[in-house]
Structure 1
Amino acid sequence: MNKLEIKQLLIQKELAKISHSTFNQPDDVCGNGRSCDQIIDIGDESQLNARVEVSEKLDVQTKIHEKNIEFLKKVSFAPTSIIGIGAIIETNNMFLIVAIATKPFEYDHKQYVGISINAPLYTYLKEKTVGDECVFNDTKFVIKNIY
């Protein structure tokens, strides 16, 4: 298992999320080729307000992904024998990556999911070792390996 490849994959996924959550603000927020201060009727003002709201939400999402990238760059993905930040945990069901939360994804024909260091699951798993049997949210699994 190449943990550095997985780290780079996580960074690439975050970069892709940033590129999908941004747009050309002056053109896209105002639209119609008019400047933002050219409000003609209440419908125009409503559309402008909705676009500004969307823009602000996208800015927040972009900042979250940027913070995730900075965090990932700092995390050591060095081999380890106990569960901590940067560990990849093999269970009987899937692989868990301790760094940032992600949706499940496939890599090298195996199922992975990222868990945040703020997640209750990480708090539960922290410092466990190979062979430990775990029950979390009524799901039972065994830690088969830690990378």
Structure 2
Amino acid sequence: MDKTALRNALLALERHELQAAREAYADYLAGSKPDRADTEDDQDHSLAVEDAELAQGLEGPLQAAQDAMARLQAIDFAPRTTVAPGAVLELGGQRFVVAVATQQFKVGAQTYMGISTESPLYRAAYGKAAGDTVEFAGRPHRIDRID
């Protein structure tokens, strides 16, 4: 398994998420600047308050994307024998990368999904080794492999 390629794929996914969040935030801010030539009335003030609340709503995804990128860059993707950050675990033919939560992605012919250390799967599997069984989603699952 080429964990360098895996790390690079995760970084590319997170860069895309971060860029999309930055663009959404910038687009919103650019479209919400008031025309200061007009005098402000109560309705303008109300709209400004709504705009501020919406901007805060867009800051959340931007901050989450920035945090995910920082966490991902700090993870050591060295080979693992137990489930920990940077590990790839295989359960029932599905491969999960302990790093940040992502959609499914491919590296070579393999499909992976990123999971965070906050995920229920990670919490159930933390410290376990290949061959161990974990209880997840109400069922036992055998860890087939860890890289």
Q: Which category of TM-score, normalised to the shorter sequence, fits these structures?
A: 0.7 to 0.9
Q: Any residues of structure 2 matched to 1:1-147 within 5 Å, and which?
A: 1-22=1-22, 23-24=26-27, 26-30=29-33, 34-35=35-36, 39=40, 42=43, 44-147=44-147
Counting matched residue pairs gives 144
Q: TM-score, normalised by structure 2?
A: 0.80
Per-residue CA distance 1:122-145 (angstroms, 9 max, x = gap): 121011111223331224432121
User: The residue matched to 1:79 in structure 2 has which SS?
Assistant: coil
d(CA) in 2 for partners of 1:139, 1:17: 32
Structure 1 residues 50, 19: CA separation in 2 closer, same or farther (over 3 Å shift)? farther
Q: Percent identity?
A: 24
Q: Give the aligned CA root-mean-square deviation in angstroms.
A: 2.5
Q: TM-score, normalised by structure 1?
A: 0.80
User: The residue matched to 2:98 in structure 1 has which SS?
Assistant: strand
Structure 1 gaps, min length 5: none
- Structure 2 letter corresponding to 1:89: L
d(CA) in 2 for partners of 1:101, 1:36: 46
